[in-house]
Structure 1
Amino acid sequence: MKVVVVAEVREHERRVALVPELVGRLTSAGLDVVVESGAGAGALHPDSTYEAAGASVAAGDDALAGADVVVSVQPLEPARLATLRSGAVTVSFLPAAQELDVVRAARDAGVTSFALELIPRISRAQSMDALTSQALVAGYRAVLVAAERLPRFFPLSMTAAGTIPPAEVLVLGAGVAGLQAIATARRLGARVRAYDVRAASADEVRSLGAQFVELDLPSLEGAGGYAREMTEERAQLQRDLLAPHVGSSDVVITTAAVPGRTAPLLVERAAVEAMKPGSIVVDLAAESGGNVEGSLAGSELDVGGARLWGGRNVPSQLPVHASRLYAANVVNVVLLMTGDGKVTPDFDDEIVDGACVTHDGVVRHTPTRELLEGP
C-alpha cells in the first residue's frame, strides 16, 4: 500500500508529517512511502534524505496519485481530498469544528479521515498523542520568546557592580505546555510561579522547583486530564484573584486551551496594563480566542508598558524537533492499523474509533456530524 507524505501549503506551516529517520518503520511493515517533492524543506529535510531512507519522491499530484494513506500536519485541502479514491485514509490534525469544508469533502469522497486531536487520552495511546508532543514544543518556545523580548536578565546575577535579581515568571495553565514552560524558565534561572484550576497539578508544579499559586477556589479537575468548564461568576473571581500576581510579574505565559473550545479568558487588559514597563505576556492560546484580553494570533501589541505576544502555530517555529515528534505520533497511528502490509482500520479499537471523523461516506464523529447535519 502507498503512504504519501504531502507538502504543507498553509501559511506559516514548516513542519512535515514524516521525517527520514522514521521512513524505515513504515517500509519494514510492508508499506511503500512516497514523499511529495519539497515536503521536508521547512524542517530541513531535503528530498535526497528521504530517498536515502528508502522512500520515493514525486512532484505534486503525481505523488498523490493512487494513494492509499495520506499523512500531513494540516488537513488536506478539499480539492485534493476530492482526487483521492474512495476508501483512502488520511491522518492529520483536523480541528473539525473549524474545518467543516474539509470534513464535508472527506465525507463526499468516501475518505476515512483521522484527527489526531481526537486520539483518546489513555495510556496505550500516549505514543500517538500529537497534542501532547506539540504542546511540549510550544511551552519551550514560549519562554524563548519571552526571554528574547524581556529587557532584563532571567537569572540571578551577583557581580562586583551589584546584584541583579531573577526575573519573576508566572505561568497560567500547568498542562504539558505549561510544565515545559516552567521547566525552561527555571533552567534559565527565573523565579517561577504557576497556577492551574486543577489542584492535582500543584505537585507537578512544585516538582519543577516552582511555586504553586493558591487562590482558594475549588478544583475543576475534569475527564481526560482537562479542566472542567467554569461558570462566568467563578471565572471573573479567578481573574480578579490572579490580577495581583500578573501585576507583580516580569513575564506571564498563558497556556490554557482545550481542543475544539474557545480558550478561557484568564487575564484582563487592566491586569496587563498594571505590569511594569518592559514586561512581556506570551499567550499560547491566542489562536483559539486567547487567555489574555486583546491578544491576537501572530501579533505583538503594546498594552500599557507591557508587550503582548499572541502565539500562531507556535510548534512550527521549531520545525525540526516538532516534526520529529509529530512524525513519531503519525507513524504509531498508521502502524496501529497495519497488518500484513495493509492499512485496515479496526473500529473495534477504541483509539481508531475515537480518532475517526469520516468513513464510508458518513461523519462518524458525533459532534462534527451534528454541526454539519443538525442533532
Structure 2
Amino acid sequence: MKLGVINEKTEGERRVALVPDTVSRLVKAGHTVMVQSGAGERAFLSDQDYREAGAEIVHDGISMIREAHVLFGVRAPGLENSIELHALKPGTVLIAVFQPLVEKVDYFQALSERGVTVFSMDAIPRISRSQSMDVLSSMSTVSGYRAVAIAAERLGKFFPLLMTAAGTIPPAKVLVLGAGVAGLQAIATARRLGAVVEAFDTRPVVREQVESLGASFVTLDVEAQQTKDGYAQALSDDAHSRELDALRGPVAHSDVVITTALIPGKRAPLLITREMVESMRPGSVIVDLAAEAGGNCELSQPGQTIEAHHVTIAAPLNVPSQLPLHASQLFSRNVVTFFNHALSQGLSVTEVPRQTEMDFTDEIVRRTCLIHNGKLVNEGLQKRLDEERG
C-alpha cells in the first residue's frame, strides 16, 4: 500500500503521526511511505531522519493526498483547506483523531461526500486486546506527567521532604482529582518527586490502583457508575452538590491540585469552585487538564495561566504536544498497531472501482470506523447529524 503522513494543520500541534522507527517497520513490511516535507520538524525529527528510515519525502502535499491509499494524521485536517479536502479520492483511508463527539458534523458530511473511509483513533474500544492501540491512554500518560512538571515549576516550594542543617522542609501536598490514566500518571510522577499525594475519584473501583502508587484515596460519600469502556458517568445534581461540599476540605489543604475529570462528549464536570480557590493558601497551584472540555475549575481560562486570589491556575491545551517527541513515538506505535490489525482483518483499497474493503465483524475495526466508502457507519455520529438536520 501507499501510505502518506500529512503535515499537521492545527495551531500549536507539534506531534507527527508516524516517526522514523515505525516508518522503517512499515517499509520493511512492503509498504511505500510518503512523508510530507517538514512533517516531523516540530517533534525534532528531520526529513533526513525519515529518508534514512526508507520514506519518500514529498514537497507537494496535494499530490501525496491524491496518490496515497492511506493517510495518517494526529488531528484531522479541517474544512478550511478545501483544496486538500477535494484532493481526496474515493476509497482513501484516513486514520487520525477525529473527535466525533465534539467535531462539527459538517466536516464529517464533507468527508462522506468525498467517498473516503475514516478511522478515528479516539474511538478505539477500551478492551484488553486493543490496549496497544489506545491513543487516549498513551496521550493521557503524557498529560499526567506533564501536569506535575507544570505544577512543580509554578509552585514556590520543594516537592520532597528535605532534612537539612538549616531545618526540615515538609513535603508538598498534592491532590489529584480523577484517577483515570492521566490521574494515575500524575500520582506516580508526584510521588517520584517526593510529594504527599491524595486522590479522589467517583469510581471506588480505582481505589486499589491509587493506593498501589503510594497515594491516599480520599473517601467521599459520592459514587458514580462507569461506562463499559471504563469512563466515569455524570453525577446527579444532588450527588454533584455533595461532591463539591466534600472536596472543600481536601482542596483547601493542598499545595497543588491537578484535575483530570472528563465525561466523553460532554462539558467537563465542575470540581473546584471560586470559593474553593479563595480558601487555598497563597502560592498554591491548580493544573486543569480538562481545559479543552471547559475545565474542572470555575476560574480556569482555557489555554492560559492566570493568578486568582493568589493561586496560580494553569489550564493548558493539547498538553501532549508540549512533549512532542515522546508523544509522537507513543502515538505512532498505537496507530501502526491499529493499522496492522486492520490489515489482518481484511483492510484493503481496490483501484477499480476505488474503494475500501474490510471485515466489520471485528469489534475494534467496527467501533473505530466512522465512515466507510462515504457512508456514515457510526451510530453516534449519525445521530448527531440527524439532530443537526432537525
Do the two structures share a fold, i.e. TM-score over 0.5? yes
Q: Structure 1 stretches of 5 or more lacking a match?
A: none
Q: In the alignment, is residue 38 of structure 1 matched against residue 42 of structure 2?
A: no
Deviations 1:96-129 (A, max 9, x none): 2323232112111011011111111111111110
Counterpart of 1:359 in structure 2 is 372
State the distance in 2 between where 1:190 and 1:81 align: 49
Farther off after superposition, 216-225 or 300-309: 216-225
Check if 1:133 corresponds to 2:158: no
Residues 62-71 or 152-161, more deviating = 62-71
3-state SS in 1 of match to 2:75: coil
Instruction: Decide which moves more: 150-159 or 63-72.
Output: 63-72
1:201 alignment partner, one of 201, 206, 220: 206
Q: Which residue of 2 aligns with 1:87?
A: 91
Of 321, 337, 343, the match for 2:342? 337
Any idea what the Cα deviations from partners look like across 1:311-357, whole Å, max 9, x if unmatched? Answer: 20000000010000000111011111225994643212111110111
Code of the aligned partner of 1:370: K
Partners of 2:176 and 2:183 within 8 A in 1: yes
RMSD: 1.5
**Counterpart-to-counterpart distance in 1, 2:161 and 2:370:** 50
Match of 2:4 in 1: 4
CA contact (8 A) 1:248 1:275 kept: yes
Kindly indicate whether the alpha-carbon contact (under 8 Å) linking 1:15 and 1:320 is maintained by their aligned counterparts in 2.
yes
My pick for the range that moved more, 43-52 or 343-352, is: 343-352
Alpha-carbon distance between aligned partners in 1 of 2:260 and 2:365, rounded to the nearest angstrom: 28
Q: Does 1:228 align with 2:233?
A: yes
Once the 2 structures are TM-superposed, how far is the Cα of residue 360 of structure 1 from its aligned partner? 2.1
How far the C-alpha of 1:219 sits from its partner, in A, is 4.4
Letter in 2 for 1:21: D
Shift of 1:206: 0.5
Consecutive unaligned residues of structure 2, counting only runs of 5 or more, are 350-356
For residues 372 and 224 of structure 1, what CA distance do their matches in structure 2 show?
Answer: 24
| Alignment equivalent of 1:261, drawn from 261, 266, 274 | 266
Equivalent of residue 309 in structure 1, options 314, 333, 343: 314
1:76/1:102 contact within 8 Å kept: no
Structure-2 residue corresponding to 1:48:
48
Indicate the SS of the match to 1:144.
helix
Identify the range of structure 1 (59-68 vs 82-91) with the bigger mean alpha-carbon deviation: 59-68
TM-score by length of 2: 0.93
Q: TM-score, normalised by structure 1?
A: 0.97
Does the Cα contact within 8 Å between 2:161 and 2:169 map onto a contact in 1?
Answer: yes
Question: Counterparts of 1:123 and 1:209 in 2: how far apart (Å)?
Answer: 25
In structure 2, distance between residues paired with 1:367 and 1:224: 15
SS state at 1:16 partner: coil
Determine whether 1:122 maps to 2:127: yes
Q: Distance in 2 between matches of 1:5 and 1:365?
A: 25
Question: How many residue pairs end up in the alignment?
Answer: 375
Matches within 5 A, 1:12-161: 12-59=12-59, 60-78=61-79, 79=82, 80-96=84-100, 97-161=102-166
Partner of 2:317: helix, strand, or coil? coil
SS in 2 for 1:166: coil
- Distance in 2, Cα, partners of 1:29 & 1:341: 15
- Pairing of 1:173-184 with structure 2 (within 5 A): 173-184=178-189
SS of aligned partner of 1:158? strand
- Which amino acid counterpart does residue 120 of structure 1 have in structure 2? P
The 8 Å contact of residues 197 and 221 in structure 1, kept in 2 or not, is answered as no
Once the two structures are TM-superposed, the CA of residue 24 in structure 1 deviates from its matched residue by: 2.3
Q: CA deviation at 1:76?
A: 2.1
Cα distance in 2 for partners of 1:48, 1:259 equals: 39
1:278 to 251, 266, 283: 283
Q: Is the 8 A contact 1:202 1:212 kept in 2?
A: yes
2: CA distance, partners of 1:348 / 1:166: 53
Distance 1:220 1:291 in 2: 19
- How far residue 66 of structure 1 moved from its aligned partner, in angstroms, is 1.2
Partner of 2:384: 371
Q: Which moved more, 1:203-212 or 1:292-301?
A: 292-301
Q: Return the letter of the residue paired with 2:205.
A: A
Give 2:325's aligned residue.
320
Amino acid at match of 2:76: P
Q: How far apart, in 2, do the equivalents of 1:241 and 1:303 lie?
A: 22
Identity %: 48
Matches of 1:360 and 1:63, distance apart in 2: 19
The 3 A distance-change label for structure 1 pair 40 and 181 is: same
Kept in 1: contact 2:62–2:87 (CA 8 A): no
Partner residue, 2:354: none
